[in-house]
Structure 1
Amino acid sequence: MRFCAFSVFLLCSFKALAADVLLIPVFTPKPEYPKQLIDTRYTGKVRVNLTVAAHGGIQATKIIESSHPQLTEATQRVVVQWRFKPWDASHGQPSKIEVTVPILFGARGIEPFSREITVGLRNTLCAYLNYEVKTSLLNFADEPLKNVDVFWYTHDFLAGSYVQLRVSDQSEREALIAQLEKAIPRLVRKCRRNPDHPYAYYLPREIRDVLVGL
C-alpha cells in the first residue's frame, strides 16, 4: 500500500510539472550541416550548455563536447540566436536557467549516411540510438547499455540543474533516474523495431514531462 500511495503521489506531482514548463522554445533553428562534412559523409555530435536569461535570450553558451571543429562553429553560430518564452523571475523563479542540449549531425548514424540534424533529446531518433547500441555491443560488449551516449545524456539531464528546478525533491529525481535505467531494455527493443520514431516517444511519461521541448 505504501508503494501504491507513493506511485500516486509521483503521478500527481508530474502531472503538475507538465503545466509548469520553464523553458518553452520560441525560436530554435537548427545549425547548417557544413558542406565539406556532407561531402565526406562525416557524422558527429555536439553538446552545448546554454544559459537562458529570464527575458528568453541566450546569456552564455559553452561547448562541452564536439566531434569536429566545424560542427562546433556551426552550432555556436545558431544557438546564440535561440529564444525562449520569457518568464517572471520576481515570483520565485530563477533569473537564469542552464540546460545542456545534444545536437546530432547525421541523425541516423554512420550507415546509411543522412544529412538530418536533430536538436535535443526529444528529437533524437531511434535510428541513432540503434547505431550507438550496435556499436557498443560490438566494441564494448562488457559495458552496460546505460553507458551508451543517448542514455548517458538522458541520465545527465535528469541529474542536472534544470530538472532540480522542476523536481525539488531528491528522491523523486532519483526515482526518474531509476525509471530510465529500468526502461533501457524496452527502449532498445522498441527503437530496434521503429527506427524512424523519436527515442523520447518510448521514454516513461514522467521523464518525457521534464524534457526540454526542443
Structure 2
Amino acid sequence: MNKKSLLNLALITVALFATSTAVRAESAFDEAPTPVRTAAPVYPQSMRDGGVSGMVSISLTVDENGNVTRTAIAKSSHPEFEQPALTAVAQWKFKPAMKAGQAVAVAIVLPVRFTAAQ
C-alpha cells in the first residue's frame, strides 16, 4: 500500500471513530447541561506579562444536581493555565443534563480560553 492510501485509510478510521463517539455521547442525554453560574480563571501574571494566550480542555462530570463533581485536564496548551482553569471550573454550577425528562449525571469536555490583551 502506498503512502497516500495509508493516509486515506487513517483519515477514514479517525472519521469513523469520531462519528461513533459523537453518536454515543448524544445518546447519553436529550438535553445538554448548561452553565448557570461561572467563575473566570485567574490569568497567571507571568503569562499575561508575556502576552501568552492558550486553552485548557477540562474533562468534568456534572451530576444530576448540576454540580461539578470531577475535573481533569483533557488537553492543555500551557501547563501554567491548568490549575487556574481547574479551580475556576470546579466552582461552576449547571442546569443538569436531561434524559427522558430526568436529570442525569454526564461527563463533558469544556474548553477554557486564556486570551492575552492585544
Same fold, TM exceeding 0.5?
A: yes
Q: Deviations over 1:139-196 (max 9, x none)?
A: xxxxxxxxxxxxxxxxxxxxxxxxxxxxxxxxxxxxxxxxxxxxxxxxxxxxxxxxxx
Q: Deviations over 1:29-64 (max 9, x none)?
A: 221211111111111111111110001101111111
- Whether 1:38 and 2:41 are equivalent positions in the alignment is no
Distance in 2 (CA, whole Å) between partners of 1:45 and 1:57 is 23
**What is aligned with 1:81?**
91
- Whether 1:57 and 2:67 are equivalent positions in the alignment is yes
Alignment of 1:1-214 (within 5 A): 21-86=31-96, 93=102, 95-106=104-115, 113-114=116-117
CA contact (8 A) 2:97 2:106 kept: no
1:78 counterpart SS class: helix
**What is aligned with 1:133?**
none
2:113 counterpart SS class: strand
Shift of 1:94: 6.0
2:49 corresponds to which letter in structure 1? D
TM-score when normalising by structure 1: 0.37
Q: Deviations over 1:90-141 (max 9, x none)?
A: x6646311111112211xxxxxx527xxxxxxxxxxxxxxxxxxxxxxxxxx
TM-score when normalising by structure 2: 0.64
Shift of 1:24: 2.2
Task: Flag the structure with higher helix content.
Answer: 1
Aligned length: 89
2:43 corresponds to which letter in structure 1? Y
Shift of 1:21: 3.3
Gaps of 5+ in 1: 1-19, 107-112, 116-214
Distance in 2 (CA, whole Å) between partners of 1:24 and 1:102 is 14
Gaps of 5+ in 2: 1-29
Structure number with higher relative contact order (C-alpha < 8 Å, ≥ 6 residues apart) = 2
Identity in percent: 34
Superposition RMSD on alpha carbons, in Å? 2.3
Distance in 2 (CA, whole Å) between partners of 1:23 and 1:102 is 14
